[in-house]
Chains A and B, each alone.
Chain A
Amino acid sequence: MHAGIIFLLVIIGSILFHIFTPWYWTDIASNWKGMDDTITLTFWVGGGVFVAVCLFMIYCVFRYQHKEDRRAEYKPEDKKLEKILTWATTLGVAALLAPGLIIWNQYVNVPKNAIEVDVMAWQWGWQYRLPGKDGKLGTTQVRNIADNNPFGINPDDPFGKDDIMVESDVINLENNRPVKILLRSVDVLHNWYVPQFRAKMDAVPGTVTFYWFEPNKVGEYEVLCAEYCGVGHYAMRGGVEVQDKADYEAWLGEQETFEQLSARYEKLNVDGNKLAKK
């Protein structure tokens, strides 16, 4: 008897916790509301099944408690019931899978007008690069990376010259404009993750991965590394600032291109050499 009551309280407690929880997802700041909706749908269907199964179990515990003079029913199989349950479950699962796959299809197909952002990860920090006026990022190679070329851009690649180098671990994004995040890593796995955007993907050394989203709420967000990357993993934070078009363009104008950066280093070198000669 007591057992059934405690189990019942556990189920009621779970439902109440879900209704009154102060811990729930952060306000969404991107286009991936479909993910939230699918979670909500799964919650209703899955939660319903959980509660139904547990309540049935608790009913059995109350109703069919052991009595010496009673016998259980003897019925090894019930083909019809098993068939109904199989098909009902299959339908339920299909109903959950369908929206999941539809949204995944959107997730892996990047809109044509998305602006590319090159996110380069290293132990333990982030760097960003944007395409210049030509709208194309220059090709890169890990071996080219140096002080005067933090992204390892191929010096011969004409597309690389006007690439915009963001010298900060905070990247600014334009509100309501889709971004394609290109992820690279120079050492180990990382993952550029902003909870409010919902989306994430690992950065894998040796290859370029991607995902996209469209920020739709002006504000500042924290970037977290979401793939374990060694002892500094928990401290590997960065930032995003989503701005309106005007603010964003003002910010963009202040950034240095790869050509300017190279020139600055060359001048530093020349000055350095002069100093050394003196």
Chain B
Amino acid sequence: MSDEYDNNKSYQAQSSEVMDGSTGSVNPDIDYVRPSEVGEQELYHPHSFIEKWVFCQDAKVIGVQYFLTAVFTGVVGLILSWLMRLQLGFPELAGFMTAEHYYQFVTMHGMIMVVYFLTALFLGGFGNYLIPLMVGARDMVFPYVNMLSFWMFFVAVAVLMASFFVPGGPTGAGWTLYPPQTILEGTPGAGMGILLMLISLSLFVIGFTMGGLNYMITILQARTRGMTLMRMPLTVWGIFTATVLAMLAFPALLVSAIMMTLDKVLQTSFFMPTILKAGEVLEYGGGSPILFQHLFWFFGHPEVYIVALPAFGIVSDLISVHARKNIFGYRMMVWAIVGIGALSFFVWAHHMYVSGMNPWFGFFFATTTLIIAVPTAMKVYNWILTLWRGNIRINVVMLWCLGFIVTFVNGGITGIFLGNVSVDVPLSDTYFVIAHFHMVMGIAPLMVIMGAVYHWFPLVAGKMLDEGLGKWHFWITFLGAYSIYFPMHYLGFIGVPRRYFEMYDSPYMTSAVGMNEFISIAAFIVGAAQFILIFNIIKTLKTGKKAEQNPWKANSLEWYTSTVPPEHGNFGDRLPVVHRWPYDFSVPGAKEDYIPQTTAPSEVIHTEVEKT
């Protein structure tokens, strides 16, 4: 048992800026933090280049590996979206593209962006990098399993990408993979393509489970002294809840992938009823296509929140730091995250109002879906109330946060249309749905990812990204993405169905041609603008300004490491001791406008801090 109770002195020095001159001595009563119950974690230090950079057990390196792999898949997804938009806006220029190609691009774009890009980026990328740093741990609790987690993900991505090169190409079943068409002739890639997709998804789930166990147990068991649950940054709360959701939701995806693989390979009939194909009755019978949809959306809806909750958490922290104000209603924010997470398991069939399931389900799922709007709205209110009477730095990070609020509220409101069962009837399977989910779980989380990149880059790389380039990147992306998806809702009102390779000359659709061209041009520009970030990163790494420690004057532990960037073990000889929540900004009576989590109460005795 290591009891480092009297290590206050070392932290006095660190937070001397906020020290009140009159209190030189430590008051053991008000500064008391319960001693640690377990000893220090023993870390495995790398002995070779491969152990340091390839099969690495340091969560920070694993986080960067996850990040880079996810970004690679994201770039592939982006290129696929360009090809789709070329077909939709300028079919005369897309002569090389057949309907098969188009549906394959649609499918791979969707699956890549949702699972391999967003999920891996938020949980694998930000989760790995930030969790140990933010809770004051030296590393994840199972570093070896964590390393395996990334490599499993890597293999999953490799298998997915391999499906582009097999006979018949990747699956073109739509990212929802609805049977029976998924595994029947008539859908592109119904041979090898779909098998590789199912194998890749299974590998992803296995790899993700290894990582997820790490995130959960590290947060529950490896927090440093004084880091109570209600003193954790909301980023950690968001990632934690999302991980719990993933642990419960991904098994549904795994079993449905296994069952579908059996239907494909062994002609079982889990999802396959009697089917007549080209005059022949196939060797299937008695299965239920709707069963798959229930399983898929039991995974698929929590999946939306697996992406959204980390974004909620991260954006809360970014807004608070850059508005120099405590997050408004922290406890409400925590309970909203947990509540949304729990409710997300009771809303899945709102994706299935017109699926042919028992129509009476509609009443239940519409009600649960609209209930979820309440905690979500509370979060939005608390973000803007955090800005209110703040002292807001309008820098690149804040711009992304503001962009997030606009796009998220927009997409959230259209969610109320689609969740409200009978309103969904005319809109489902139209472009309204595409506009809605891209706004709310594509663009909004992407805004947060970008904000987080600009915010934490100085920590990860020790250099400041260029603000000027960052502003260009933000405005092109925000204005461009908004002008893609805002007008797209109106195509849905007309009734333009989604997943149409070509519209022909349907009388009420010809008016959409002009808009499709406009949307496509915007999509090309927004996609190209993302390379500004890549250029910015390369330029900054080469010639960028060196970042000082804690450049944003934040309070949370990741900025108080022994070195910048933090090295293996994160905190040098002694783990930090936490005395407060991470949101003590602009506290009346304090010298600076921030008080780090490690500052003991006796050091800021004349301030009017509320006890947290």
Q: Interface of A with B (CB < 8 Å)?
A: 3, 6-7, 10-11, 14, 17, 21-26, 32, 34-36, 38-39, 42, 46-47, 49-50, 53-54, 56-57, 60-61, 64-67, 70-78, 81-82, 85-86, 89-90, 93-94, 96-97, 100-101, 103-105, 107-108, 122-123, 142-143, 145, 183, 186-189, 191, 193, 195-196, 198-207, 209, 222, 224-235, 237
Contact = CB atoms under 8 A, between A and B. Distances in A.
A225 B355 contact: no
Contacts of A123: 181, 186, 277
A142 to B, nearest CB: 5
B392 A10 contact: no
Given A72-B325, A123-B186, A142 B494 contact: no
Contact of B378 (A72, A82, A105, A191): A82
B544 interface: no
Contacts, number: 325
A187 B180 contact: yes
Contact of B288 (A7, A66, A206, A224): A206
Which interface residue of B277, B289, B380 has the most chain A CB atoms within 10 A? B289
Given A77-B329, A200-B429, A34 B422 contact: yes
A54 B275 contact: no
Interface of B: 99-100, 103, 172-174, 178-181, 184, 186-188, 273-277, 281, 286-290, 323-326, 328-332, 354-356, 359-360, 362-363, 366-367, 370-371, 373-374, 377-378, 380-382, 384-385, 387-394, 399, 402, 405-406, 409-410, 413-414, 416-417, 420-423, 425-430, 475, 479, 482, 486-487, 490-491, 493-495, 497-504, 506-508, 511-512, 515, 583, 585-588, 593, 608, 610, 612
A227 B429 contact: yes
Contact of B493 (A24, A199, A201): A24
Contacts of A202: 354-356
B390 A64 contact: yes
Contact of A104 (B277, B370, B422, B504): B422
Contacts of A60: 384, 387-388, 390, 392
A64 B392 contact: yes
B429 A89 contact: no
Which interface residue of B288, B420, B427, B506 has the most chain A CB atoms within 10 A? B420
Contacts of A122: 276
A35 B384 contact: no
B409 A53 contact: yes
Contacts of B427: 39
A46 B417 contact: yes
B380 A53 contact: yes
A238 B371 CA distance: 39
Given A26-B495, A64-B390, A122-B276, A35 B425 contact: yes
A230 B500 CA distance: 11
Given A64-B389, A93-B416, A189 B588 contact: no
A100 B417 CA distance: 9
Contact of A23 (B286, B331, B377, B512): B512
17 contacts: A6-B479, A39-B417, A42-B420, A61-B394, A64-B387, A71-B391, A71-B586, A72-B390, A82-B381, A104-B366, A123-B181, A191-B429, A195-B508, A204-B355, A222-B507, A234-B501, A237-B504
